[in-house]
Chains A and B, each alone.
Chain A
Amino acid sequence: MLSFILIQNRQGKTRLAKWYSAYNDDEKIKLKGEVHRLVAPRDQKHQSNFVEFRGSSKIVYRRYAGLFFCACVDANDNELAYLEAIHFFVEVLDQFFGNVCELDLVFNFYKVYAILDEVFLAGEIQETSKQVVLTRLEHLDKLD
């Protein structure tokens, strides 16, 4: 199960934070910092996309240009399934916004949350058909 998803840039600025486990505000701030410090210095070429995190979890992450997409999952979860779920989500963003960039996430933050709720829910992967998600999102986007 996902505990949280974070999208952070290289400077550690969090562009999106979605929490699936209950954390208070202080913990959230701490987690953001910890994840950034753990992931950002890692070598892209020679290191895996997984890092152990706080013993019973791990961070599955992928870097897209200047942005780190990080998912915190249980230590026993299938790493690659979550790694590709991240990519699936990024592809949905890319198609929805049309060649997505970091600023899309800033200006349309409320839409990104809505997109997230179509792909992941309650810490689980919900929908894995790009067609299904995009058709739905376009429909919702047109509604007043």
Chain B
Amino acid sequence: MTGKTLMHTQPAHTEVELTRSAEAIAELEQAFQAKIDADIKIEPKDWMPQAYRQSLVRQISQHAHSEIVGMLPEGNWLTRAPSLGRKLILLAKVQDEAGHGLYLYSAAETLGASREALIEALHAGKAKYSSIFNYPTLTWADVGAIGWLVDGAALINQIPLCRCSYGPYARAMRRICKEESFHQRQGYEIMLTLCRGTAAQKRMAQDALNRWWWPSLMMLGPPDAESSHTQQSMRWKIKRHTNDALRQKFVDQSVPQADYLRLAPPDPKLKWNEQTGHYEFGAIDWNEFWRVLKGDGPCNRERIEARRRAYDEGRWIREAALAFGAKQARRARGAD
């Protein structure tokens, strides 16, 4: 990004900030936290601490980027879906993800960020997106596994966000969660069909579970001890539960679903603990998580390259649309 920052369309009232006294700011912060504690939503025009704004822009834009990059692994099977019905369902699903990206970029815009700047940060490798989309989709079963596990983990992450303190984000999440829940059931239904099918189909299904299981567990974020944003985000009610609590919930939910499919998650240490009422599971390879996050997953380069190419090759189209819009406006004013 040259000469641009993510916040270049910052609303004017934050500039007033510089002239406020420390006491005045402390008072505003207190009132802000009191609202949060009383579960009153923060709206775009309300005063908010700069760090709250930045934290939300980071989180919402990461989420938006994940939706857009996430279109690629599933989009990889759009042209090869095994029936017309499956093609339509997958197409509608990937389209929903584009729609989620749109609402989320719009939610980020209410905080003063611009869609274009956020996208450029993604392309420049400065913004993150969910690491799971750096894994490849090798067979049709991956489309099922992504719906079941990846959308399942996403939902567990996202349902609490429907109660997030920032109004526009919470409202976007309510709609997104409804659609994600539908996607998850569709994914599971693909798995069910495969598991009731031929030996080759069952093999595909088990192989997809083997490859997506651990990355899905990692999707709930680093362990609480290493999560840099958790504490502050919880105080601001941007985040409602810790990563480890959400991960346990995901495992507890997914293991019986795998049992029903007669598939085995690739974890020899997985076992039900009668006393805690939870499943115990083996150690997660966090080295893999950090490695993929830092850019060395199987598909990091091609995912960003695909996004960048689409954006660069589409530039003349966007420019033409803008130029035409400007011409129309001039004509309407009678200048042409």
A, B co-complexed: no
Residues of B at the A interface (CB closer than 8 Å) are none
Residues of A at the B interface (CB closer than 8 Å) are none
